Amino acid sequence: MESDSDDSVSSYYSALDTNPMDASICAPMASHELESLERKLGQIIFIQQTDATYHKALRDMRDQNSLSLLVEPSFYGRYQTTSVLAVATSNKTYIFDVRALGTIFKELAAILEAERPRKVVHYSHRIADHLHHRYTIKLGGVCDSFVVLCVARQEKSPCSLPEAISLVFGLPLQELLCEEVTGGSESRRNFSARPLTQSQIRYLARMAILQHRMHDHLHLMYGNICSELQGMSLAFSQNYTHLEKSIDLAVNMAPASLFGFGSIDLLPTAKEIDDHEMKHRK
């Protein structure tokens, strides 16, 4: 596992060295923004039962235009049991301990299936497969940050959520991880052991908050083609869900797999769109 993670990190840094588009999408976080992130990480709401806090969290989620969603573990889709679900709204961050809750109940499932709020996810094809085959939940309103990143970089190559956040915000990858996560791709313990450590909880919350911020940043660059990006996100999210369980499917879920990437169309870059509009205004 650790050698796989090392390979992931080294391949990530080599990608940064060779892709000329990265400078145009990088938006380093200012000191006050990092301080705001730290404050939010001190206010994480951890949910293990369907009490008043749980229902208040659902009401908050329903009131949002978009949510940032993580499911762990989900990298191998249907092949792993859900441990935890992390959600970031505009002001709150929730960690749902699905193992303690026992399942994803219908009220939360209804939010995940609805077109609104939008669900900001990374590698939606893996998360959608997991939710579909574990709970018959059809993830709705998908906005995939990986899809937008591919368009922004004009490159369709694997890039996990921690790697993407590191790239866009100029944050050292190792500072984003926790001791249980050894690299950009996978967790050593897959978040299955209990109790969850404080570093794991902070890691999940940090990823959810920064995923939301990254989505907003990248979408500002592509405001004129949002519908196309959402259409691609939906198509990308459905790549695994209708496939039968098989050895081939398991192979196609390997960390370096490019399965489903063909559904991502490298649309014009943000600069090309701006240049095109300027030309037509003249």
What's the pLDDT at 137?
A: 98
What are the b/e assignments for 44-70, b being 16+ CB within 10 Å? bbebbeeeeebeebbebbeebebbbbb
- 148 in Cβ contact with 225 (< 8 Å): no
The predicted-structure confidence for 94-129, as pLDDT tens digits, reads as follows 999 999 999 999 999 999 999 999 999 999 999 999
Q: In the chain, where are the structural domains located?
A: 2-281
Q: Is 54 helix (H, G, I), strand (E, B) or coil?
A: helix
Phi, psi dihedral angles at 133 (to 5 degrees): -85, -20
Residue 171 clears pLDDT 50, i.e. is over it = yes
Of all residues in the chain, the percent with pLDDT exceeding 90 is 69
Please tell me what DSSP assigns to residue 225.
G
Give pTM, 2 decimals.
0.86
Q: What band does 185 get if pLDDT is binned at 50, 70 and 90?
A: low
CATH no. of 2-281: 3.30.420.10
Residue 266 clears pLDDT 90, i.e. is over it = no
Residue 82 clears pLDDT 50, i.e. is over it = yes
Counts for the chain of helices (H) and strands (E), in that order: 14, 6
Mean pLDDT across the stretch 176-202?
A: 81
Query: Alpha-carbon dihedral of residues 183, 98, 70, 229, nearest 10 degrees?
Result: 140
Instruction: Please give the structure tokens belonging to residue 244.
Output: 């039968």
The predicted-structure confidence for 3-49, as pLDDT tens digits, reads as follows 444 444 444 444 445 576 788 899 999 999 999 999 999 999 999 99
Residue 197 clears pLDDT 70, i.e. is over it = yes
